[in-house]
């Protein structure tokens, strides 16, 4: 009898050691805190109930662009900084780095109490598309991490949106080939949100502002069938350097994006090359009727000071010390409130024509590759516990799926090699992507030097391996010992 019991125990242990990630059902998630009106999209604008919503915020990565730290998982850090956000008067923050294996209830609740929304980058340096070799990095391990991030934040009413990538395409012409991976990932994220019965949280892309591909990339992300299009589009713009609409070229960008059909906002802005202080004149422009019919606000880069000198507070052991730019930005927000009414927006959305291949846009074709076979199970069963920020990484994990390897196109083979993205001079942020499409492009790309409108490698090129099974093995050991202890009693 005892041998049978112990056989049962060890069978239980083995099953836990080899178990797949725990599946999650969003309907069974319990979280109650201050409720906020979820942000929705109508036409080319964001809405807070029946009121037009403008993004008036700041980019938040207090651990620095190279640190693998989640500020929303650290109660001390987030509460320190939320007090500063309230003083600033922002209504939104963007968070580049989150750990999808831990709870964010405390910090997301504190942000909700302060009336602050959050835009989450769904990628991190370990789990992102590799611009140097995007096709194999689009795999089930990557999507499991992305989907787990969606699961982690979908329960919060103040999750405003998800970014599917950041500056994956930059000023290297060959990097335009990675756009198909960005678009496929965007498609997959939107499908996952719908399949898992999550609230319809908007998904979009954060682009570098590159003259040669600004419009083709924007049109590409908003063309084709509805289920493949982005919900919104954002870009990182550093062309306003204590200047005005005309000299910055912003007036021309408004013309270029008029009629775009979905919300547009600046995911990063705030040039710092024109003197030691920024005047943040962009806020007045963004809130004026010269822009509100097309743009829905923006996020200043960035909250905490680093080597790139963009920050507005200096993080010390004693707390967050406000810098001169902190007062400048606070004053600009206070002097230029969000306008009343609809700001001249359009109330119906529309798609754009897909760009055609030319010297600056190498994507030829519009079809996207299918989702990796192993990732399709997540649609029905959930993505399970995420790998967090200590997983093995996904860029070289591969799948053995039918769409791994070379993707054939109508006219040629896509062999893009471009590195994963980030942003800002001497910063590296998380990236994103899409999967290979019926592209007819060839070539190999080179890594470019980061500028305020391009990007450097964020995720690296040699990270690989499947999701770590360590946490599940530990769980199995604890279960086994609990059973044995019970039997011995």
Our answer to whether residue 373 is catalytic in this structure is: no
246 is catalytic: no
Comparing CA positions, the residue from 72, 54, 52 lying closest to residue 63 is 72
The rounded distance, in Å, linking the Cα atoms of 108 and 347 is: 30
State how far Cα 270 lies from the chain centre: 20
What the block records as the tokens of 270 is 């705030």
CB-count exposure of residue 353 (10 Å: 0-12, 13-18, 19+): exposed
Contact in structure between 429 and 65 (CB atoms under 8 Å): yes
Catalytic residue among 84, 135, 174, 268: 268
CA distances to 41, 163, 191, 484 from 294, rounded to whole Å, are 14, 20, 27, 65
Task: Assess contact for 240 and 282: CB atoms under 8 A.
Answer: yes
Choice among 84, 167, 302, 392 that is catalytic: 167
Residue 198: C-alpha distances to residues 131, 164, 264, 377, 440 (Å) = 30, 17, 23, 17, 36
Handedness of CA 477, 482, 487, 489 (dihedral sign): positive
User: For the chain, how big is the Rg over CA atoms in Å?
Assistant: 23
Beta bridge partners of 206: 166, 234
Q: Cβ atoms within 10 A of the Cβ of 15, count?
A: 12
Measure the CA–CA gap between 207 and 71, rounded to whole angstroms.
Answer: 23
Q: How far is residue 117's CA from residue 104's CA, in Å, rounded to a whole number?
A: 14
Phi first, then psi: what are they for 249, rounded to 5°?
A: 85, 5
Question: Do residues 167 and 421 make contact, with C-beta atoms less than 8 angstroms apart?
Answer: yes
282 within 8 A of 269, measured Cβ to Cβ: yes
What is the rounded CA–CA span in Å between residue 480 and residue 444?
Answer: 52
Residue 1: CA atoms inside 13 Å, Cβ hemisphere, count?
Answer: 1
Q: Residues with catalytic annotation?
A: 167, 268
């Amino acid at each position: 009898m005892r041998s049978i019991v112990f056989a049962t125990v060890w069978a239980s242990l083995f099953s836990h050691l080899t178990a797949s990630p725990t599946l999650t059902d969003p309907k069974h998630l319990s979280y109650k805190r201050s409720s906020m009106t979820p942000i929705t999209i109508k036409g080319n604008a964001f809405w807070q109930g029946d009121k037009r919503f403008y993004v008036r915020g700041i980019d938040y990565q207090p651990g620095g662009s190279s640190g693998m730290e989640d500020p929303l998982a650290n109660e001390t850090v987030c509460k320190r900084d939320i007090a500063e956000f309230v003083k600033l008067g922002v209504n939104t923050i963007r968070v580049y780095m989150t750990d999808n294996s831990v709870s964010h209830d405390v910090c997301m609740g504190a942000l909700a109490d302060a009336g602050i929304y959050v835009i989450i980058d769904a990628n991190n340096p370990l789990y992102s598309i590799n611009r140097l070799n995007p096709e194999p990095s689009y795999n089930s391990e990557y999507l499991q991490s992305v989907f787990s991030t969606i699961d982690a934040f979908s329960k919060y009413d103040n999750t405003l949106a998800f970014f599917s990538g950041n500056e994956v395409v930059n000023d290297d012409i060959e990097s335009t080939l990675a756009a198909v991976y960005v678009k496929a990932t965007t498609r997959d994220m939107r499908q996952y949100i719908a399949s898992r019965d999550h609230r319809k949280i908007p998904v979009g892309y954060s682009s570098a502002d590159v003259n040669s591909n600004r419009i083709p990339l924007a049109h590409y992300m908003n063309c084709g069938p509805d289920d493949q299009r982005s919900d919104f589009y954002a870009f990182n713009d550093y062309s306003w350097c204590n200047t005005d609409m005309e000299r910055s070229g912003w007036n021309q960008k408004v013309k270029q994006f008029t009629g775009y059909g979905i919300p547009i906002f600046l995911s990063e802005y705030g040039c710092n090359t024109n003197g030691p202080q920024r005047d943040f004149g962009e806020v007045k422009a963004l809130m004026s009727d010269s822009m509100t019919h097309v743009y829905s606000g923006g996020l200043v880069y960035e909250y905490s000071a680093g080597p790139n000198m963009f920050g507005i507070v200096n993080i010390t052991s004693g707390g967050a010390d406000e810098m001169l730019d902190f007062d400048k930005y606070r004053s600009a927000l206070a002097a230029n409130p969000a306008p009343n009414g609809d700001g001249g927006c359009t109330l119906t959305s529309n798609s754009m024509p897909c760009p055609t291949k030319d010297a600056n846009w190498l994507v030829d074709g519009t079809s996207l590759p299918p989702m990796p076979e192993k990732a399709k199970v997540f649609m029905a069963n959930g993505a399970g516990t995420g790998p967090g920020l200590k997983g093995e990484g996904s860029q070289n994990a591969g799948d053995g799926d039918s769409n791994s390897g070379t993707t054939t196109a109508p006219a040629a083979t896509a062999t893009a090699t471009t590195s994963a993205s980030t942003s800002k001079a001497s910063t590296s942020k998380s990236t994103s992507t899409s999967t290979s499409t019926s592209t007819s492009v060839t070539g190999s790309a080179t890594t470019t030097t980061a500028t305020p409108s391009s990007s450097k490698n964020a995720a690296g090129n040699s990270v690989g391996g499947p999701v770590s099974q360590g946490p599940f093995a530990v769980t199995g050991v604890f279960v086994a010992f609990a059973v044995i202890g019970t039997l011995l009693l």
